[in-house]
Homo-oligomer: A and B are copies of this chain.
Amino acid sequence: MPRWEEGSAERLTTAALELFEERGFEDTSVVEIAERARVTTRTFFRYFPDKREVLFAESDRIRTAIVQAVLDAPDVTQPLRVVTTALAQFDWDVGGAEIQRRRHAVIAANPGLLERELIKQDEIATEVVRALRRRGVEEEAARLATRVGIQVFATAYARWAEGDGGADLTELTEAATDLLRALVPTEGPPWPRTREEVRS
């Protein structure tokens, strides 16, 4: 028989998500979160370094898995595809799609939480660049492929999260890659040639 209830971290995460939905992030205090989870504030800060981090408990696992997928990619001659594939093949439904949807809604609605989300993405990007470098990809190519790959995937993910009839994330990523191909400017001068140039 445990002396205290077990699963404090999970209860804190659940309580925080509920309270952020009910009253907003700013208007919820750590004290309230801790009360609903039946622990003290001290316990909250034992599990999470700050109030925001309570919604990002999974981020280490996500980052590690994606970096590993890049390191394990069979071929890195197309680094951008390596990145999009590593992202698309991750199981994003951790804890259930509904929880993820609620979590994203809360994050999007609160600048403070969005800041944290963005820096987590940035940390993933930094480590993916390092992984590509280790696979022999040149520095600038690794950086651009990673950052662009993340944006391509984000486009697909946005569609997927909107729940377009349970579409496949891999297919949506392929569609986003097609869109990227259409958007990249063709070689030549930056701006469409002037009428004079076209005439000649």
Taking Cβ atoms with an 8 Å cutoff, the residues of A that contact B are 74-75, 77-81, 85, 111, 114-116, 118-119, 122, 140-141, 143-145, 147-148, 151-152, 154-155, 158, 170, 174, 176-185, 187, 190-192
Cβ-neighbour of A147 out of B111, B141, B144, B151 (below 8 A): B151
CB within 8 Å for A184 and B180 given contacts A115-B115, A122-B114:
yes
Cα of A184 to Cα of B141 in the assembled complex, Å: 11
A78 in contact with B185 (CB, 8 Å): yes
For A141, list chain B residues within 8 Å (CB).
179, 182-183
Cβ-neighbour of A119 out of B118, B158, B177 (below 8 A): B118
Cα of A140 to Cα of B178 in the assembled complex, Å: 12
Number of copies: 2
Cα of A21 to Cα of B49 in the assembled complex, Å: 24
The residue of chain B having its C-beta at the shortest distance from the C-beta of A175 within the complex is B140
**Secondary structure dominating the interface of A:** helix
A180 in contact with B144 (CB, 8 Å): yes
For A122, list chain B residues within 8 Å (CB).
114, 118
The residue of chain B having its C-beta at the shortest distance from the C-beta of A174 within the complex is B190
Cα of A85 to Cα of B192 in the assembled complex, Å: 13
Residue from A75, A118, A158, A178 with most neighbouring chain B CB atoms (10 Å): A118
For A190, list chain B residues within 8 Å (CB).
81, 85, 170, 174
For A119, list chain B residues within 8 Å (CB).
111, 114-115, 118
Smallest distance from the beta carbon of A141 to chain B beta carbons, Å? Answer: 6
Cα of A79 to Cα of B146 in the assembled complex, Å: 21
Q: Would you give 19 A-B contacts (Cβ < 8 Å), ordered by A?
A: A75-B191, A75-B192, A81-B190, A81-B191, A85-B191, A114-B122, A115-B116, A141-B179, A144-B152, A144-B155, A144-B179, A147-B155, A148-B148, A148-B151, A148-B152, A177-B185, A181-B184, A181-B185, A184-B184
